Amino acid sequence: MNSYNKYFLISDLDGTLINSQHTISQKNLNAIEYFVQQGGTFAIATGRTVQNIRPYIKNLILNGPCILYNGSALFDFNRGTSLMTEHLENHQLYDYITYCMKTFEHMVVEIFTTDMMYIITPEENVDPYVLFEKQYFERSTLDEVSKMSWVKMMLNDSHKNLQKAQEVLADFGLASQVDSVFSHEHYFEILKKDVSKGSALRSIRKLPQYSNKIVVAVGDFDNDIEMIKAADVGIAVDNARDCVKQAANKITVNNDQDAIYDIIFNIIPDLPE
């Protein structure tokens, strides 16, 4: 293939582009660089914040708009500017959060604004992944963060407790008022209604410079399903959950086997013209 001009490749980060060693392989980095040099557009789609994504993009070429907060924001890393932000109506969630904090002893409640991640549960309730990555956050209270504009909230606990937390959304009249999704076995996220990686990708496709691109999207977990469905070619990594594989058109190798390299050099060249 001499050119990737017509392709927009967007990849999930954790579990897809990032391997089990919490790095992006040099083989993937080199493949992305070649893809962009040959005219391709590359971006990432993640639940992470702007701050917590930066350690991973130091050597990564991102020439397309990136999806952050699982669809609540679009961000241009080349210009350092936000292109779109969706906010939760957080007053709806006050009683629900209060219930979760009282009911689930070890649950961690994380509130995201465009500038910060706030943890509002007691200090003894820790998110091991946040600590492992030394992610930047501040401690606060529900009353204090309720004065702010939220882009999403996230619960961290055992999968069993998170399933219970999902079930009681209906008891608080929230099932039809917000969107919710599992982004990991131990993470349950709540977003504005009709917001997802898929809705954000559809917003990108409405921009004139991307409207004629062939969109290829790849991911591994539930929060990637809507994006995979919204793409022209949806791909699941081999380590993806079965529900993600069922939503995809194609399966690539797992995230420890340079999946993005495989997509760029083996899958995209074989796509119909």
In a domain, 227, yes or no: yes
Mean pLDDT value of segment 217-242: 98
Task: Check: CB of residue 265 under 8 Å from CB of residue 31.
Answer: yes
- Whether 51 and 144 map to the same domain: the answer is no
Mean pLDDT value of segment 11-38: 96
- Spatial separation of the C-alpha atoms in residues 193 and 111, rounded to whole Å: 17
What pLDDT does 272 receive?
A: 85
pLDDT in tens, 98-145: 999 999 999 999 999 998 999 999 999 999 999 998 898 999 999 999
- Whether 98 and 137 map to the same domain: the answer is yes
What pLDDT does 51 receive?
A: 86
pLDDT in tens, 184-229: 999 999 999 999 999 999 999 999 999 999 999 999 999 999 999 9
Q: Specify the DSSP class assigned to residue 16.
A: T
Quote the percentage of the chain above a pLDDT of 90.
91
Confidence of residue 266 (pLDDT cuts 50, 70, 90): very high
Confidence of residue 243 (pLDDT cuts 50, 70, 90): very high
Is pLDDT of 262 > 70? yes
- Whether 231 and 200 map to the same domain: the answer is yes
| Overall domain count for the chain | 2
- Whether 208 and 74 map to the same domain: the answer is yes
What pLDDT does 55 receive?
A: 87
Structural domain ending residue among the three candidates 143, 162, 192:
192
- CATH number of the domain where residue 208 is located: 3.40.50.1000
- Whether 201 and 75 map to the same domain: the answer is yes
- CATH number of the domain where residue 187 is located: 3.30.1240.10
Q: Which of 269, 224, 233, 265 is nearest to 251 (CA)?
A: 233
pLDDT in tens, 37-50: 999 999 999 999 88
Q: Which of 269, 272, 205, 206 is nearest to 35 (CA)?
A: 269
What pLDDT does 156 receive?
A: 98
Structure tokens at 117: 């991640």
- Whether 238 and 106 map to the same domain: the answer is no
Confidence of residue 2 (pLDDT cuts 50, 70, 90): low
- Whether 109 and 51 map to the same domain: the answer is no
Q: DSSP of 178-219, one letter per residue?
A: EEEEEEETTEEEEEETT-SHHHHHHHHHTSGGGTTSEEEEEE
- Whether 185 and 238 map to the same domain: the answer is no
In a domain, 221, yes or no: yes
Mean pLDDT value of segment 172-177: 94
- Whether 217 and 162 map to the same domain: the answer is no
- Spatial separation of the C-alpha atoms in residues 102 and 121, rounded to whole Å: 10
Task: Check: CB of residue 86 under 8 Å from CB of residue 70.
Answer: no
- Whether 51 and 101 map to the same domain: the answer is no
Helix (H) or strand (E) segment spanning residue 167:
helix 159-167
Is pLDDT of 1 > 70? no
Confidence of residue 56 (pLDDT cuts 50, 70, 90): confident
- Whether 201 and 260 map to the same domain: the answer is yes
Domain that holds residue 171: 90-192
- Spatial separation of the C-alpha atoms in residues 245 and 70, rounded to whole Å: 19
In a domain, 1, yes or no: no
- Spatial separation of the C-alpha atoms in residues 19 and 40, rounded to whole Å: 23
In a domain, 2, yes or no: no
